[in-house]
Amino acid sequence: MNQEHFSTVSHVQFIGDTATQRAGARCAELTKSSQPAFHHYDASAHVEGRPMRDHLRFAACYWHTMRNGLADPFGAPTAKTPWDDGSDSIDNATRRADAFFEFLAKCQIDRWCFHDRDLAPEGETIAQSERNLDALVAHAASLQSATGKRLLWGTANLFSHPRYMHGAATSPQTGAFLHACAQVRKAMEVTHALGGEGYVFWGGREGYDTLLNTDLAREREQLARFLHMAVEHARAIGFNGVLLIEPKPHEPTTHQYDSDSEATLNFLREFGLMGSFKLNIETNHATLAGHAMEHELAVAIAANSLGSVDANMGTAGLGWDTDRFPTDAYLTTRIMLAILNAGGFEQVSPHGGLNFDAKRRRESFEPVDLFHAHVAGMDAFAIGLKAAARIRADGRLREFVSARYASWEMTLGKEIRAGQRTLEQCAQEAQRIGETPIASGRQEMLEAIINDILFARDG
Ligand code: XLS
Ligand code: NI
Ligand code: NI
């Protein structure tokens, strides 16, 4: 890293007040003068006895940060990337990696994630693609040791190349399956070489557009076989990181087999893969599946299967994956409350983290917007972490929930749960006790308690 690519940003620091933001300058002036700065995220500040950096375990992703030109279906790329000459050369890919690690250092992000094809150009043959990847992995390894940054997870892109148009593992033709094996074998090995904490499978095209041409049962079996082979390979090469599946219901396909947490867990159970995989839950994918993010987290946590989080958010009312930076503080509060209640990443998933699988809007095209976007997401998660800790310290929510289930903690409830009562005995007990008082669920009261904790009262 000899040349600075983000010379406009020296280092993003915690400045602890929002006066500059409140100044109310006109938009143009603000854009010119505002340097990105943390107002809430302070890596070493402690929350619930642990530094924020350990709670939040932020990662930046290579694909959106370095490879997303911000094109949309109607318009050309807009992103300014002065370090990138647009070529597919190894030199260009190397310069990109330099720019990325400079970005990580200046933005205080400790981890990163990548797809094989983001990092290095695909060659004419598998051997050439692997040589290209090896060159970039060697460079990334030296950047990692120079900067102390770590790989959260790696993955293979099994959805962009035309050969995968019908799916990769679920393709009707074995050729695509074989190429997917080649890519996963290599991507897993380089993830291992880079000390990756995890390896992700996102089945972008592992689904169908129409059942008219699809043998769903066969395709699900193919996917399971592929995953079994991947697990065996991971063990064979000594990769002890966590293997992750990232659910998403659709887009690009009409239906994806890993459509949400429950469907994915069911798939894993059905094919004897439970225990080999955890889930990488993405907020916008939860939205697309018609779920709240905390639902997806709760389902994964209940099955001891939360692996990691792709931190982003969608746009209300839109039916696609807008991958916005997660700036909604109420959302980040709910996410951090679920994670803290489960014991924090350290306990629930020590190899997990918050990966910003998020892209700037097409209009936020300047290099400095990469900083504004990540800083906004990191600050929103710091707000969420602190707010969740306050909700937990307040204790009213927890008390309410335990009171709500109190009868299950009494002798009869415990005996039923332990399988010591028959249906017949329960029926007789119902006749004996008659109707019992029913307590209110008090949803609105609880929602108001959260607002009361989150927002200061006037005066
Ligand atoms: C796409 C997915 C993808 C995965 C990695 O919607 O989120 O980016 O995280 O392949
Ligand atoms: Ni993702
Ligand atoms: Ni996504």
What is 321-356 written as a DSSP string?
---B----HHHHHHHHHHHHHTTHHHHH-TT--EEE
The answer as to whether 24 is a domain residue is no
In this structure, what token pair is assigned to residue 375? 């800083």
Which CATH number characterizes residue 52's domain? 3.20.20.150
Shortest-distance ligand to the CA of residue 158:
1
Q: Are residues 269 and 320 in the same domain?
A: yes
Peptide bond into 252 cis (omega under 30): yes
Is 18 among the domain residues?
Answer: no
For residue 269, is it within any domain?
Answer: yes
Answer yes or no: is 219 within a domain: yes
- State phi, psi for 313 to the nearest 5 degrees: -160, 160
Q: Which residue type does 31 have? A: T
Instruction: Single out the residue in 394, 427, 444 at which a domain terminates.
Output: 394
Q: What distance in Å separates the CA atoms of residue 216 and residue 83, rounded to the nearest whole number?
A: 45
Distance 316 CA to ligand 1 centre (A): 20
Q: Are 172 and 223 in contact (CB under 8 A)?
A: no
Each residue's pLDDT tens digit, 290-335: 999 999 999 999 999 999 999 999 998 888 889 999 999 999 999 9
Q: Based on the domain organization, do 324 and 443 belong to the same domain?
A: no
DSSP class per residue in 257-305: SS-SHHHHHHHHHHTT-BTTEEEEEEHHHHHHTT--HHHHHHHHHHTT-
Residues 191 and 165 in one domain: yes
Please say if 98 is a catalytic residue.
Answer: no
- 301 and 414 in a common domain: no
| 165 shares a domain with 50 | yes
Q: Indicate if 287 and 433 belong to the same structural domain.
A: no
Residue 29, pLDDT score: 53
| 383 and 437 both lie in a single domain | no
Active-site option among 118, 258, 321, 323: 118
- Residue 94's Cβ-side half-sphere holds a number of Cα atoms within 13 Å equal to 12
Please indicate whether residue 115 is annotated as part of the active site: yes
pLDDT of residue 23: 44
- Considering 55, 115, 179, 192, which one is annotated as catalytic? 115
- Within this chain, do residues 385 and 413 fall inside the same structural domain, yes or no? no
The three-class DSSP label of residue 188 is helix
Q: Which two tokens stand for residue 284?
A: 């916008």
Ligand nearest to the CA of 201: 1
Distance between Cα 357 and ligand 1 center (Å): 7
Using the mean position of ligand 2's atoms as its centre, give its distance from the Cα of residue 437 in Å.
46
Does 279 share its domain with 313? yes
Q: How far is the CA of 340 from the centre of ligand 2 (A)?
A: 22
* 15 inside domain: no
Which residue has 């947490």 as its token pair? Answer: 261
What is the structure's pLDDT at 27?
A: 47
3-state secondary structure of 35: coil
**Cβ atoms within 10 A of the Cβ of 235, count?**
11
The protein residue with its alpha carbon nearest to ligand 1, atom 4, reads: 202
pLDDT value for 151: 98
Residue 372 domain flag: yes
What lines the ligand 1 site, CB under 6 Å? 115, 155, 200, 202, 246, 248, 282, 310, 321, 357
Residues of the domain holding 168? 46-394
Segments of the chain with pLDDT less than 70 = 1-2, 16-33, 459
Same domain, 50 and 147: yes
Assigned token pair, 5: 């690519």
Q: How many domains would you assign to the chain?
A: 2
Pocket test for ligand 1, best of 65, 161, 281, 282 (most atoms within 8 A of CB): 282
